[in-house]
A and B are shown apart, each in its own frame.
Chain A
Amino acid sequence: MDFLLSGFLKALDLLITLDSSTWSAVAASLKVSTISMLISLAAGLPLGFALGYFDFRARRFIRTCVDTLLSLPTVFIGLVVYAFITSRGPLGEFGLLFTLTGIAIGQVILALPIVVALTASTVENMDNRLRLTLMSLGAGKRDLVVTCLWEVRYGLLAAAVTAYGRVMTEVGISMMVGGNIKWHTRTITTAIALETGKGMFANGIALGLVLITIAFAVNISVSFLRQR
């Protein structure tokens, strides 16, 4: 058990002394996950609203497809994105392989169904008196959408946090599409996998602590917003 304790102590040392390779992985993770989340939320919230609010013919089928995408394995997404952006793939000319942009594309594919499905569920469970109230107070179509989304903001926040958790902790996409290149595409999770493989527990634990701290900070923020 000593190696765990000494690993933990060394991990704290790495974080406190601002070890550059450790913090480079943290920065890469935060950057790529923030980009992928912004894109997923921008596209997923309106799509989820439409799927949950409007009644149209293919709705049930689309809902089933979205729900199926929730359980996509990250390595499979990594494989598909790799196939598209590799030099022989249809998007090969853009040189996205082994870049943070490539990882972000994969993470959007991972997060988007989560945001869409959870937003749709939240909107479906919205109080059906809300629409009537807003219309009777004179809301136009735009007011209706904006106010409805604001009314279910806690549900949407939960959707965003869930998606963020999945994006932050995935390994498959980052490893396959990013290539785990030190100083460039090495993220927290790929670094943990690599360092543990090399027997460098301290580095792995240090990055794990950062991951837990980020998760904790996100949930504290959500809790604070709820109280307001």
Chain B
Amino acid sequence: MNQTGSLYRLDHVVHYYNDTKALNIDEMTIPAGSITGLTGPNGSGKSTLLKLLAFVSAPTSGNIYFKGRREYPFSSRSRSRVTLLTQEPYLLKRSVYDNIAYGLKIRKDTKQLDDRVRNALATVGLPYGEFAFRKWHQLSGGETQRAAMAARLILEPEVLLLDEPTASVDADSAKLIRDASLKAREFFGTTLVIASHDWHWLYEICDNLLYLFKGMVFSSGMENIISGPWEKQGEDLYARKIGGEGKLFVNTPPAEDSHALVRKKDLHINPHASGKERENFDNRLEGVITRMILEKAGMEIITSVMIGDLFFTLRLSGQEVRSLRLYPGAKVVICFQKDAVQWL
């Protein structure tokens, strides 16, 4: 049942909250020892997916395989190996020391506990003498997040799931948490799954970046998803205003407010294309490059272009960037065919 090297395998996993479908994944694998990033808008299913991967709740239907075996919440095998850190972690109403030692105590693994707590605290930049015996309510938001991170790191987990771990902390704490998560991978070979809106960070460290939208997973990083409303322009021709006079043309959508997906590979960028070259495309949209990030996994350059109220993301090679002389602030034209649009 296990794909070689894959730690997790999700098979037709669907999860509902009451009548709302929060997650719908046909097939997904996460390789052992990898760093997988999850990105996507709020409510796209990132947190739900992490909870299922952490086995703190079971999917409404479908199976989750961990190391080749189907696992469930409270399974002794998975709960000793997988841990989750949420955006706003809860500290138990006891001292920082007791919070960090809790996981080991319930495992009855208390050998050299003081040293291990000291090391865990040091990893997240909290001096033992100053913080170990503070009460849970005597910490700032960033310190709370770091103490919670230490409580996970001390377990030397096989899988560390991080749900927007740096979203509500100061810059210093965010850096310490980011560094600590990488140390976990370096020291314990921990597999990391990180949900974050900080795609700068994700592109920098992830081996694999997944984009979630309305509970569905797209396996190629940031994708271009455009929401309606779509207005009829002619026979099998609809358009969406993108600020000013600009319009984005598509074929007939399933509904007026459908979401359109334009994959990065279908986008063409050219600052110098002549009018004739551009006319070969149904959509020719003028915009400005706002960000360029080197992607760790493919060593390509992820380029964001702002067009009206929309952002498009493209993956470009270093050669393309050099030859087209692209840089943040450069004006470019994004071209694509309306047939390239997929409906979600």
Chain A residues within CB distance 8 Å of chain B: 127, 129-133, 135-141, 143, 147, 150-151, 153
User: For the complex, what is the distance from the CA of A86 to the CA of B161, rounded to whole Å?
Assistant: 63
| Residue numbers in A under 8 Å from B76 (CB-CB) | 140
Which of A127, A136, A140 is the one whose CB lies under 8 Å from B84?
A: A136
Whether B102 lies near A137 (C-beta < 8 A) is: yes
| Chain A contacts for B74, CB-based, 8 A | 135, 140-141
Contact A132 B88 (CB under 8 A): no
Query: Can you list 9 residue pairs at the A/B interface with Cβ under 8 Å?
Result: A127-B90, A129-B86, A132-B90, A133-B86, A135-B56, A135-B74, A136-B82, A137-B151, A138-B107
* Pair A130/B90 contact, Cβ less than 8 Å: yes
B90 lies within 8 A of A133 (CB): yes
Please tell me which one of the listed residues B56, B86, B106, B152 contacts residue A140 in the complex, with CB atoms under 8 A apart. B106
Q: Which residues of A contact B88 (CB under 8 A)?
A: 129
Of all A-B residue pairs in the complex, the 4 with the closest CB atoms, nearest first, are A129-B90, A136-B84, A137-B103, A135-B56
A132 touching B79, Cβ below 8 Å: no
Supposing A138-B79, A138-B80 touch, asked if A133 and B89 sit within 8 A by C-beta, the answer is yes
Given A129-B89, A130-B90, answer yes or no on A135-B73 (Cβ-Cβ < 8 Å).
Answer: yes
Decide: A137 near B86, CB < 8 A? Known: A132-B51, A151-B92, A151-B93: no
B contacts with A, residue count (CB < 8 A): 28
Interface residues in chain B, defined as those with a beta carbon under 8 Å from any beta carbon in chain A: 51, 54-56, 73-74, 76, 79-80, 82-86, 88-90, 92-93, 102-103, 106-107, 148, 151-152, 155, 161
CB distance from B66 to the nearest CB of A (A): 14
> In the docked arrangement, what's the CA distance between A151 and B94, Å?
9
Question: Whole-angstrom distance from the CB of B165 to the nearest CB of chain A?
Answer: 13
Chain B residues, Cβ within 8 Å of A136: 54, 56, 82-86, 152, 161
**Interface of chain A: mostly helix, strand, loop or mixed:** helix
Q: A129 contacts which chain B residues (CB < 8 A)?
A: 86, 88-90
* Distance A153 CA – B56 CA, assembled complex (angstroms): 24
- Chain A residues near B51 (CB-CB < 8 A): 132
Task: List, in ascending order, chain B residues with CB within 8 A of A137's CB.
Answer: 83, 102-103, 106, 151-152, 155
Q: How far, in whole Å, are A141 and B106 apart by their CA atoms in the complex?
A: 11
- Report the bound CA distance from A153 to B93 in whole Å: 10
A132 near B80 with CB under 8 A, answer no
Q: In the complex, what residues of A have CB within 8 A of residue B54's CB?
A: 135-136
| Nearest CB of chain B from residue A169's CB, rounded to whole Å | 31
Residues of A within 8 A of B55 (CB): 135
Q: Do the beta carbons of B106 and A138 come within 8 Å of each other?
A: yes
Q: Which residues of A contact B152 (CB under 8 A)?
A: 136-137
A129 to B: closest C-beta gap in Å: 4
Min CB distance B19 to A, Å, is 17
Contacts of B84 in A (CB 8 A): 132, 136
Whole-angstrom CA separation of A132 from B82 in the bound complex:
13
Given contacts A133-B92, A136-B82, 12 further A-B contacts (CB under 8 A): A129-B90, A130-B92, A133-B90, A135-B54, A136-B85, A136-B152, A137-B106, A139-B79, A140-B74, A143-B106, A151-B93, A153-B93
